[in-house]
Chain A
Amino acid sequence: GAVVSQHPSWVICKSGTSVKIECRSLDFQATTMFWYRQFPKQSLMLMATSNEGSKATYEQGVEKDKFLINHASLTLSTLTVTSAHPEDSSFYICSRGTGETQYFGPGTRLLVL
């Protein structure tokens, strides 16, 4: 069964609003989780590494004030897209790792109108 869940699975919002996406590790206490973004017909791009109890590490070119990450517990990381705009519409995927194996959530599709 699934070891990583995401909620919601899809969300539609108006431009300028903020959207929170939750990622839960169901079977493992994860000190580190990852957030990816996937555009249509493109690869998954790592956005940031979520670290429990400390600040997230963002990849180059990702606005940390735009994509707020909170990893408040060993089983939950959240991604908040602040003041969302249509160009933020995408598929957001989280994962957690065990050794070299990553376990991915089913993804959250965000559509900003």
Chain B
Amino acid sequence: GDSVTQMEGPVTLSEEAFLTINCTYTATGYPSLFWYVQYPGEGLQLLLKATKADDKGSNKGFEATYRKETTSFHLEKGSVQVSDSAVYFCALSPNTGFQKLVFGTGTRLLVSP
């Protein structure tokens, strides 16, 4: 079945460091890919998405490129801030016209000043 694998955390960085959170997926067909973020005490929020191969999603300085050849959707940010501390979830939608999401386990990011 469809699945998402992302790196275990926590990821601990200093402010202004470069961030990469790896995400790979297994799916039939052509899924859409998402990164969701969960800030402390809040619900998950869509951070960015990509709906087809080679698409790049971007938002708030974060980027991720849909790589079909490596079945990956790694999240990157050039310079993290303390306010980026949160849990990040990679997810896919099987693209069957249904809104079902399959999530990875989440990666906690801790950014220190």
Contact = CB atoms under 8 A, between A and B. Distances in A.
A102 B49 contact: no
Contact of B43 (A43, A97, A106): A106
Contacts, number: 51
Nearest to B44: A104
Contact of B101 (A42, A102, A105): A102
B100 interface: yes
B99 A100 contact: yes
B41 A106 contact: yes
A2 B39 CA distance: 13
A107 B36 CA distance: 15
Interface string B71-85: 000000000000000
Contacts of A49: 100
A15 interface: no
B56 to A, nearest CB: 16
Interface in B71-113: 89, 93, 99-106
Interface string A95-113: 1010011111111000000
